[in-house]
Structure 1
Amino acid sequence: MAYMLEKLDEEKVFKDPVHRYIHVRDKLIWDLIGTKEFQRLRRVRQLGTSYLTFHGAEHSRFNHSLGVYEIVRRIVEVFKDRPHWREEDRLLCLCAALLHDIGHGPFSHSFEKVFHLDHEEWSRRIILGNTEINAILKQASPTLPQRVSDVIEKTDENKLIVSLISSQIDADRMDYLQRDAFYTGVSYGHFDMERILRVMRPTEDQAVIKHSGMHAVEDYIMSRYQMYWQVYFHPVTRSAEVILTKVLHRAKELFEQGYAFQYPPVHFESLFKEQISLDEYLQLDEAIVMYYFHMWQHEKDGILNDLCDRFMNRRLYKYVEFNLELQMKKWLELSTLFQTIGLAPEYYLVVDSSSDLPYDFYRPGEEEERLPIHLLMPGGELQELSRQSDIVESISGKKRTDHKLYFPKDRLEDFSTFETEKKRILDILYGKG
């Protein structure tokens, strides 16, 4: 228990381009930052393949995790001595904020899709497993690892703490919107976070916002909407993700066929078998992945070396709008034509869809129940945000979806072979046939 209360001799600070300074006074937090599991996050980019679209987007999950910690640190200062807030929950909040992304692997979401992984499950395994993080949390309190894991999994009994880390207005989103806007150089992700933090109030179940801060929250919701469509779902970034995903699929397929790799995928074998251990998972970072992609450019397999060359040298697929449900006949003809000209459609003709729901009100019984943002009215009652804000009401519950078809246009414009078929493919893709 003494460790829980132990402070550093003097405050440590990280200089940060988004929050100016990140302040650490608790020895527990400082020790967690120093673990090898947390330091691994320096080698995992926050925005995956976005650096191929926005060249400044080289920031890491390490940056972001410190940022979320700093926002929660400021929130709990605002909450101090207010009803519904227990000061003994402070360190639990700070630990959960710091460690909320600890389970992310390299190129997070692409990896998760290909290998059927879940970063939240890996976060739990890292926090509860035989790790430096687990040892430090246990030293503070035998129950702390489980509590931190429960908060990150959104199963902890204290819904207020969960809402600070995961809700429709949480520290995670407030950091990544501003951080990603800063590093991509776009203007969309900025909002008045200081104002939001000042008007946040604890209740039994969630953090709420004083009515006077409604316009700052509107800005936050709109900035999130813009960032998703201008940055996170950018079609060039998605093209790079498609190629990255196909490299991993191809390598896995070749491995299962017994192909003799010149550069065997030693670090991927347990992933390909879907039997990866915690130690093996923690060995994975983006430097490892990029090494293999770099070396696989020289593999004998034509598909694998071409896909790796495309990813490493940014020879990305082009794209057109394409809704598979409405254009199935065209899809079937394109697949046949791609087979004819020697381009495997499963690797070179890819439909990718993105969708986002910028804000939603409470819909009981749905698979994912979204906790709405509540405003604290002058009389003390709570009102759901979209009932007070015309701007938010106009986008509430409205899911936007975008469908695109990705393909290697450079291979289609080489008319030295299959000229008739390639012209037909281009006619279909560009709406002339």
Structure 2
Amino acid sequence: MNKNKIINDPVYGFVAIPTGLVFDLVQHPYFQRLRYIKQVSMTHLVYPGALHTRFQHAIGAMHLMSMALETLRSKGIVISEDEEEAVLSAILLHDIGHGPFSHSLEHSLIEGVSHELLSSLLMDRINQDFGGRLSLAITIFNNGYERKFLHQLVSSQLDVDRMDYLNRDSFFTGVSEGVISFDRIIKMLNVVEDEIVVEYKGLYSVEKFLIARRLMYWQVYLHKTVIGAEQLLIKILQRAKYLAGAGKLLFATPAFQWFLNQQIDKSNFLNDPLHLDWFTRLDDTDIMSAIKIWEQHEDEILSRMCQRIMKRDLYRSIMSDKPFTSSTIDSVKVRVRECLGVDEEDMHYYVFTQEIHNRAYNPSKDPIRILLKSGELVDITEASDLGNLEALSKNVSKYALCYPKEVGYIANPSAR
């Protein structure tokens, strides 16, 4: 079979599938599932073009990895063919454990099971299918390989994963603040003392990368309406889980039904491979088909919330730099009770808060090092003449309050 394929990517143009192993990984059913999982969850309800998938992102990240390896080899860094194939496989599979709508399942149907754990479990299973050919890729992915810089290319504060999703999400949302000079950054990469560093000439491109990451989080990933939509989806799944546990009949695909009707946590996944089997059959279409049917469900709470998602009649989201006072939240609940007749025990489906965080750069974790012309290595915050890079390293917290729009605006939603 001819495995020398190319993919026409809207962001980078033609992307080559570099090896037969990578082609077989792309063809694997677990990877093909990513075609049906949106990269940025409910963001399309704010930016209509944001319908790109985890599949596209993984292919793009692999392409950037190929560029990075080519750059490093051109600078005398020896990378074997086995290492190349392994690190390409690792980045290709880095998101293999994502469930429908990204993190929604982690907060509703599956307790305490992260997509990182699921990715690791699925990579182990694929490795069995491939007769151990992914063993080195898994070692690199888990940061167990002796050449640490290969793991840094997969997962760090300046990895090809972040470069692709910033570039790609900017492209599909139309938010130009996320555009980065990924090609310039990659050309400036080097390895010193087994660590990825950026040559001084790439300093300004990395500064722009960090600024773009901060702006994309506030403008896209943590947009107040996106947060409200994602929380509403989580509330729908929580309500469905509650009703299923109470013995109510709910339409769901077999894979979705499996997780609705059982309390499944981390230990279940670790001890019974059947749960992982069902997880690999789950994607966005399972959730959306159920929500379309649940619009007509006899449970009024579930029905109302599903109708809101389908009609984009989302909750109002108010953002604050400080936590909302209990009196403010109580006043919203009073209005909801008066307007919609909601009982106190069900109020958490209609009024809820969320704390969100944004930290573009953490100098204490995998710091981005700049290689000065003198040969000295310094943290980017020291090398930069932009004072705001110090601000980007601070963890900024904001608070969201969500409630139905029909209760009207809440006067002076002050925070303490």
Per the alignment, residue 267 of structure 1 pairs with 255
1:217 matched to 2:206? The reply is: yes
Counterpart secondary structure, 1:103: coil
- Within-5 A mapping of 1:20-419: 20-80=13-73, 82=75, 85-87=78-80, 88-114=82-108, 115-116=110-111, 117-129=113-125, 131=126, 134-136=128-130, 138=131, 142=132, 144-261=133-250, 263=251, 266-272=254-260, 273-274=263-264, 275=268, 277-322=275-320, 325=323, 327-335=325-333, 338-339=336-337, 342-343=341-342, 344-362=346-364, 370-391=365-386, 393-410=389-406, 412=407
For residues 49 and 169 of structure 2, the distance between their equivalents in structure 1, rounded to whole angstroms, comes to: 9
- Which structure is higher in RCO with an 8 Å CA cutoff and minimum separation 6? 2
What's the CA shift string for 1:23-52, capped at 9, x where partnerless? 123111111111111111000010110111
Counterpart secondary structure, 2:244: helix
Contact 1:12 1:23 in 2 (8 A): yes
For residues 98 and 260 of structure 1, the distance between their equivalents in structure 2, rounded to whole angstroms, comes to: 39
For residues 322 and 379 of structure 2, the distance between their equivalents in structure 1, rounded to whole angstroms, comes to: 37
What's the CA shift string for 1:182-211, capped at 9, x where partnerless? 000111111221111111112343211101
Gaps of at least 5 residues in structure 2 are 270-274
Calculate the aligned-residue CA RMSD, in Å: 2.2
Aligned partner of 2:48: which letter? H
For residues 58 and 373 of structure 1, the distance between their equivalents in structure 2, rounded to whole angstroms, comes to: 31
For residues 326 and 430 of structure 1, the distance between their equivalents in structure 2, rounded to whole angstroms, comes to: 8
Query: How much has 1:81 moved relative to structure 2?
Result: 6.0
Counterpart secondary structure, 2:120: helix
For residues 214 and 20 of structure 1, the distance between their equivalents in structure 2, rounded to whole angstroms, comes to: 26
For residues 42 and 105 of structure 1, the distance between their equivalents in structure 2, rounded to whole angstroms, comes to: 12
Query: How much has 1:85 moved relative to structure 2?
Result: 3.6
Contact 1:164 1:206 in 2 (8 A): no
For residues 245 and 199 of structure 1, the distance between their equivalents in structure 2, rounded to whole angstroms, comes to: 42
Query: How much has 1:428 moved relative to structure 2?
Result: 4.7
Aligned partner of 1:113: which letter? H
For residues 232 and 203 of structure 1, the distance between their equivalents in structure 2, rounded to whole angstroms, comes to: 34
Contact 2:315 2:405 in 1 (8 A): yes
Aligned partner of 2:361: which letter? Y
Counterpart secondary structure, 1:315: coil
What's the CA shift string for 1:63-84, capped at 9, x where partnerless? 0000000000111111116455
For residues 124 and 134 of structure 1, the distance between their equivalents in structure 2, rounded to whole angstroms, comes to: 13
For residues 373 and 8 of structure 2, the distance between their equivalents in structure 1, rounded to whole angstroms, comes to: 38
Query: How much has 1:264 moved relative to structure 2?
Result: 5.1
Counterpart secondary structure, 1:56: coil
For residues 53 and 23 of structure 1, the distance between their equivalents in structure 2, rounded to whole angstroms, comes to: 33
Gaps of at least 5 residues in structure 1 are 1-7, 363-369, 414-425
Per the alignment, residue 418 of structure 1 pairs with none
Contact 1:159 1:205 in 2 (8 A): yes
Contact 1:190 1:223 in 2 (8 A): yes
Contact 1:13 1:21 in 2 (8 A): yes
What is the TM-score with the length of structure 2 in the denominator?
Answer: 0.89
**Percent of aligned positions that are identical:** 30
- Corresponding residue pairs, total: 396
Contact 2:42 2:229 in 1 (8 A): yes
For residues 294 and 184 of structure 2, the distance between their equivalents in structure 1, rounded to whole angstroms, comes to: 50
- Identify which range, 336-345 or 91-100, moves more after superposition: 336-345
Query: How much has 1:342 moved relative to structure 2?
Result: 2.5
What is the TM-score with the length of structure 1 in the denominator?
Answer: 0.86
Contact 1:44 1:286 in 2 (8 A): yes
For residues 3 and 349 of structure 2, the distance between their equivalents in structure 1, rounded to whole angstroms, comes to: 55
